[in-house]
Amino acid sequence: MSQESGDCPAALVSERAWRIRSRVLDHTVRNGGGYLSQACSSAEIFATLYSGLMRLGPSTGPPEAAPFDATPGERSAVRLLGASYNGPQRDDLDRFVMSPAHYALVLYATLIETSRLAPISLEQFNQDGSTVEMIGAEHSPGMEATTGSLGQALAVAVGRVLGRRRRGAKSRFWVLLSDGELQEGEMWESFALASAYHLDEITVLVDANGSQCDGPVAEVLPIEPVVERLVAFGWEVREVDGHDPEAIWQAASTLVARRPLAVVCRTSPWHGISSLAQRAPRFHYVRLSVDEARRAVADLEASRAGRSGG
Amino acid sequence: MSYARERTEVVCLSADLTSSCEADGFKEAFPERFYSMGMTEQSMMGVAGGMAREGLVPFVTTFSVFVTRRPYDQLAMAIAYPCLPVRLIGFLPGITTPGGVTHQAVDDVNLVRGLPNMTVLDLGDATEVETVWQCLDEIPGPVFCRMLRGEVPRLFDTPMTLGKTRELSGGDDVVLVTSGVATDYVREVVAWASARGTGVRHLHVSTLKPFGDDVLLEAMRSARLGVITCENHSVVGGLGSAVCELVASEGLATKVVRLGIQDRFTHGGTAKYLARYYGIDSLAVARAIGALSGEAWARKAGGLDRELAEELAAELEQWRETLDGAPGHETLGRAGQAEPAAANVEAL
- Touching check for A310 and chain B: CB below 8 Å? no
More confident residue, B300 or A61: A61
Reported confidence tier of residue B2, pLDDT bands at 50, 70, 90: confident
- Residues in chain B closer than 8 A to A146 (CB atoms): 77-78, 81-82
Burial of A220: CB neighbours in 10 Å, binned 0-12, 13-18, 19+: middle
Q: What is the reported pLDDT for A156?
A: 98
Of the candidate ranges A75-79, B103-107, B338-342, the one whose mean pLDDT is the lowest? B338-342
Residue A189, chain B, CB below 8 Å: the answer is yes
Fold designation for A10-309: Rossmann fold (3.40.50)
Q: Parallel, antiparallel, or unpaired: how do β-strands B226-234 and B256-261 relate?
A: parallel
Report how far residue B204's alpha carbon sits from residue A166's, in angstroms, rounded to the nearest whole number: 39
More confidently predicted of B17 and B194 = B194
Q: Is the pLDDT of residue A168 over 50?
A: yes
CA–CA dist A304, B337 (Å, integer): 75
Task: Place A23 in a pLDDT band, splitting at 50, 70 and 90.
Answer: very high
Statement: residue B330 has pLDDT above 80? no
pLDDT at A125: 95
pLDDT tens digit sequence for A108-151: 999 999 999 999 999 999 999 999 999 999 999 999 999 999 99
User: For residues B23 and B14, what is the distance between their CA atoms, to the nearest angstrom?
Assistant: 8
Nearest to A51 by CA among A87, A20, A9: A9
Residues 198-217 of B with CB under 8 A from A: none
Q: Which residues numbered 63-122 in A keep a CB inside 8 Å of some CB on B?
A: 71-73, 76, 79
Assess whether pLDDT exceeds 70 at residue B333: no
Are B89 and B64 contacting, i.e. CB atoms less than 8 angstroms apart?
no
Please give the Cα distance from B114 to B73 (Å, whole number). Answer: 12
Rounded to whole angstroms, the Cα distance separating B296 from B307 reads: 15
pLDDT (mean) for A31-57: 96
Which residues sit opposite B143 in a β-bridge?
B87, B119
pLDDT of residue B61: 94
Mutation site for B-interface testing, chosen from A79, A86, A96, A156 by largest number of B Cβ within 10 Å: A156
**Per-residue pLDDT tens over the stretch A196-233:** 999 999 999 999 999 999 999 999 999 999 999 999 99
Residue B334 neighbours by CB distance under 10 Å: 14
A234 and chain B: CB distance < 8 Å anywhere? no
What is the predicted pLDDT for the residue at A4?
A: 60
Residue B62 makes CB contacts below 8 A (sequence gap 6+) with B14, B15, B16, B17, B21, B41, B44, B90, B91
Q: Minimum mean pLDDT among A1-15, A97-111, A231-245, B263-277: which range?
A: A1-15
Report residue B328's pLDDT band, with 50, 70 and 90 as the boundaries: low
| Chain segment A152-164, per-residue pLDDT in tens | 999 999 999 999 9
- A279 CB within 8 Å of a chain B CB: no
Mean per-residue pLDDT, B247-274: 96
Within B133-255, strands assigned E span: 143-146, 151-153, 166-169, 174-178, 200-204, 207-209, 226-234
pLDDT exceeding 70 applies to what percent of chain A?
Answer: 97
- For domain B2-153, which architecture applies? 3-Layer(aba) Sandwich (3.40)
Burial tier of A279 (Cβ tally within 10 Å: 0-12, 13-18, 19+): middle
Q: What is the pLDDT of residue A65?
A: 98
The answer to whether residue B44 scores a pLDDT higher than 70 is: yes
Cross-chain residue pair B47–A72, CB shorter than 8 Å: no
Q: What pLDDT score does B21 carry?
A: 85
Phi, psi of A118 (to 5 degrees): -75, 140
Which of B33, B54, B83 would you mutate first to test chain A, the one with the most A CBs within 10 A?
B54
Instruction: Name the residue ranges covered by the structural domains of chain B.
Output: 2-153, 166-321
Cα separation, B45 vs B60, whole angstroms: 8
The three-state secondary structure class of B182 is helix
Contact B180, B93 (CB under 8 A): yes
Average the pLDDT over each of A215-219, B192-196, B340-344 and give the range with the smallest value: B340-344
User: What CA–CA distance (Å, rounded) separates B216 from B204?
Assistant: 9
ipTM for the predicted complex comes to 0.95
Q: How many residues does chain A have?
A: 310
Give the CATH number of domain B166-321: 3.40.50.920
- pLDDT confidence band for B219 (50 / 70 / 90): very high
Q: Do A145 and B140 touch (CB under 8 A)?
A: no
Please tell me the distance from the alpha carbon of residue B270 to that of residue B267, in angstroms, as a whole number: 10
Is 70 exceeded by the pLDDT of residue A235? yes
Give dist(CA B236, CA B262) in Å, integer.
8
Average pLDDT over residues A89-105: 97
Q: Inter-chain contact A157–B50, Cβ cutoff 8 Å?
A: yes
Average pLDDT over residues B196-204: 97
Q: What is the largest CA-CA distance in chain A?
A: 57
CA distance, residue A156 to nearest chain B CA (Å):
4
Between B330 and A142, name the one with better pLDDT. Answer: A142
Is B79 in the A-facing interface, judged by CB distances under 8 Å? no
What is the model's pLDDT at position B340? Answer: 36
| pLDDT at B270 > cutoff 70 | yes
Q: Phi/psi of residue A93, each to 5°?
A: -115, 155
Statement: residue B268 has pLDDT above 60 = yes
Q: What is the mean pLDDT of chain A?
A: 95
Least confident of A4-13, A240-249, B272-281: A4-13
Instruction: Pick the residue of A75, A96, A164, A189 with the most B CBs within 10 A to test the interface with B by mutation.
Output: A189
Among A residues 128-147, those touching chain B with beta carbons less than 8 Å apart = 137-138, 145-147
Residue B309 burial by CB count (10 A; 0-12/13-18/19+): exposed, middle or buried? middle
Per domain, the residue ranges of chain A are 10-309
Residue by residue, DSSP assigns B105-158 as BSSHHHHHHTSTT-EEEE--SHHHHHHHHHHHTT--S-EEEE---SEEE---SS
